Amino acid sequence: MTFQGPLLARVRGRAMLLVGSLAGLMVQSALASPVSDALPAIRQVDHEGQGNAAAARAWKVLAAADASALPEILAAMDGANPLAANWLRAAIDGIVSKASGRLPVDALVAFLAETRHDPRGRRLAFDLVQGADPARAEQLLDGMIEDPSVELRRDAVAKVIARAGVLQAEGKKDEALVAYQQAFAASRTVGQIQTLAAAIRELGGAVDLARHFGFLTRWQVAGPFDNTGKEGFAAVLPPEKFFDLKATYDGKEGKVSWQAIETTDEYGMVNLNITYPPPPPPADAKPAEGGSKEGIKEVLAYAATEFESPLAGPAEIRIGTGNAWKVWVNGQPVFGRDEYHRGTEIDQYRMPVVLKKGPNQILIKLCQDEQRKPWTTEWEFQLRLCDEVGTAILPADGVATQERSQ
């Protein structure tokens, strides 16, 4: 099995969209405007500098264009790979810098209204409108609380939060709570969600963060296995070869088998130090270097769950962990990374996957290294399923559980 890069997979996943967009550009180029002619060269850039020389020539044409070309250049971001989008992005900077504020605001607003366009292009169109006509941009945000652009949605939600804050300051707690709850339901930005959760709770409301994010909380775990010298990361151990919840394996310290766990952490953090606590130290043991030892070291474990997907189609697995890890979906490797204790955050790693309707098996391997510093004891992960915007994909039956496969 080989691991596929998440961005590469994302590009492949958009292949059909790209073909369609290129066809559209070919039709446009029949009109023979210099901008239309230049766009295909930009869109053909790819990995390791492919197409850069031709793109540089085309870029000069785009950057020299009149501001009226902005909607067409923005539209060329639809289905473009991230590198091509950046060539287009920089060309727009060039156009705008010499436009002296004379931008086709109506055309940009019309572009923005079409949510089929690439979220990056739409956000950029909004920024251009905002620069030219701030009041109009502010007004546009009122209709964007469910926008497919995470950033536009974030700004729209921020307006609702501000309104709720005013209501709260005026003592209208019930109305403020409703506004906060509306904002919470719409928000897909981590910091904003956390702020909203605190505000709702302060007003006596309830929030379910794990559900809002779509964290998977029920797992079967097997371990600990040996990870001495970090060699377990690359080793292909039995749970990777054949998944069997009834199996027992040779672990690091003896036989190990699967056991069910459930995290109650509202951010879905699965702490394997709780499942596999270290043995109590001998009475005469010296303190560990730099602080107390709270976890076992040079080990790894597997966690598995079955997710009942309501639909077949594209999704994202998002993982946060400071440990080395690999993840598989339905037996297929998705990604892995052998980095230890450099920090963790929600949605640290985003990987496109395709779910089938019904049960989908998710397997994660989590490795712990040898370091003994206090900040190296963490052996934990959080994993969620969502769409590209970050909207949680909830299981068909409302619970992400391994129970049905037992």
Contact 183, 164 (CB under 8 A): yes
Residue written as tokens 């310290």?
Answer: 253
Stretch that binds other proteins, among 13-21, 88-96, 167-175, 311-319 (CB under 8 A): 88-96
Q: Pick the closer one to other proteins by CB: 142 or 345.
A: 345
Look at the chain and count its residues: 406
Interface with other proteins, residue 208, by CB under 8 A: no
Q: Pick the closer one to other proteins by CB: 275 or 344.
A: 344
Interface with other proteins, residue 213, by CB under 8 A: no
CB neighbours of residue 311 within 10 Å: 11
Q: Which of 345, 370, 397, 403 binds other proteins (CB under 8 A)?
A: 345
What gap in Å lies between CA 177 and CA 167, rounded to an integer?
9
Element (H or E) spanning 34, and its range?
helix 34-43
Which residues ranging from 159 to 198 are in contact with other proteins (CB under 8 A)?
189, 191
DSSP conformational letter for 146: T
Q: Pick the closer one to other proteins by CB: 175 or 388.
A: 388
Radius of gyration for the alpha carbons in the chain, expressed in angstroms and rounded: 25
What gap in Å lies between CA 25 and CA 20, rounded to an integer?
9
Q: Pick the closer one to other proteins by CB: 86 or 194.
A: 86
Q: Which of 335, 360, 364, 395 binds other proteins (CB under 8 A)?
A: 335
Minimum CB separation from other proteins for residue 166, in Å? Answer: 23
Stretch that binds other proteins, among 81-89, 203-211, 325-333, 394-402 (CB under 8 A): 81-89
Stretch that binds other proteins, among 90-98, 139-147, 238-246, 247-255 (CB under 8 A): 90-98
What gap in Å lies between CA 171 and CA 179, rounded to an integer?
14
The residues, ordered by sequence, that sit 6+ positions from 265 with a Cβ below 8 Å of its Cβ are: 210, 217, 271, 382
For 55: left if phi > 0, alpha if psi spans -120 to 50, otherwise beta; the answer is alpha
DSSP conformational letter for 207: -
Binding mask 111-140 for other proteins (x = CB under 8 A): ---------x--------------------
Under the rule (CB under 8 A), what is the footprint of other proteins?
5-8, 47-49, 52-53, 55-56, 59-60, 63, 82-83, 85-87, 89-91, 93-94, 97, 120, 151, 154, 189, 191, 322, 335, 337-340, 342-345, 348-349
